[in-house]
A and B are shown apart, each in its own frame.
Chain A
Amino acid sequence: EVQLLESGGGLVQPGGSLRLSCAASGFTFNAYAMTWVRQAPGKGLEWVSGISGRGADTYYADSVKGRFTVSRDYGKKTLYLDMNNLRAEDTAVYYCAKAPHSGPGSYGDYWGQGILVTVSS
């Protein structure tokens, strides 16, 4: 059974940093791309970042480019999102999602439950 479990969220001040983790199980981790998607309060879904199965290719939304970094640890089967210089508009529930193949430009066939990040002073 595919399982994705996010952690690392919480309250952070504007300008601060946070690292989100997504622990994966139930599938061959290096064979599938992974994605981060967020949902701000009262808003819809927004794609944030994607990373290929082997980790060689990474992609970002313009709104986070230069501030967020996606990576993955194959030994720990964990996806990460390092978030720096956080802004109030980054406040959202962050979801990790697995793609159905190794390329990152795809759908999310399995999703985590999400983790809340609040940026506020």
Chain B
Amino acid sequence: EIVLTQSPATLSLSPGERATLSCRASQNINTYLAWYQHKPGQAPRLIIYDASNRATGTPARFSGSGSGTDFTLTISSLKPEDFAVYYCQQRSNWPPITFGQGTRLEIK
């Protein structure tokens, strides 16, 4: 089973700042990684797939990078609606499909 480790667990930033979230895989997953945004009481939302492709409707301030075992989600200038929990997910070696434990992005 591929383990995804996200860091930091919590990130405290202000609107307008740049956010950098990390996801590390326990083995090579090429670029088979997605990022989701999840707000309380809402459905998770796919924002990045295959490491660097923005999903339909994802604003340009979101970008993804990485390959192999190290991946990054960057939000260039935070807006109030961006504060949420972010999960990475791999589809390289399954079953099982696995998720990271999440990074909580909170307002400072």
- Cα(A104)–Cα(B106), bound, Å: 33
- Could you mark each residue 9-39 of chain A with 1 if its beta carbon is under 8 Å from any beta carbon of chain B, else 0? 0000000000000000000000000010100
Would A47 and B49 be within 8 Å (CB), given that A111-B43, A114-B43 are in contact?
Answer: no
Residues of chain B within 8 A of A80, CB atoms compared: none
Residues 82-108 of B contacting A (Cβ, < 8 Å): 87, 89, 91, 94-102
Residues 25-49 of B contacting A (Cβ, < 8 Å): 34, 36, 38, 42-46, 49
Please, which residue of chain A has its CB at the minimum distance from the CB of B97? A47
B29 to chain A, nearest CB (A): 12
Would A107 and B43 be within 8 Å (CB), given that A47-B99, A59-B94 are in contact?
Answer: no
Do B101 and A44 have beta carbons less than 8 Å apart? yes
27 contacts across the A-B interface (CB closer than 8 A): A37-B44, A44-B87, A44-B101, A45-B87, A45-B89, A47-B96, A47-B97, A47-B98, A50-B95, A50-B97, A59-B94, A59-B95, A60-B95, A61-B96, A62-B96, A95-B44, A105-B91, A105-B97, A107-B89, A108-B36, A108-B44, A110-B46, A111-B43, A111-B44, A111-B46, A112-B43, A114-B43
18 further contact pairs, Cβ within 8 A, besides A105-B97, A106-B91: A35-B97, A44-B87, A44-B99, A44-B100, A45-B87, A45-B102, A46-B99, A47-B89, A47-B96, A47-B97, A60-B95, A61-B95, A105-B91, A108-B36, A108-B44, A110-B46, A111-B46, A114-B43
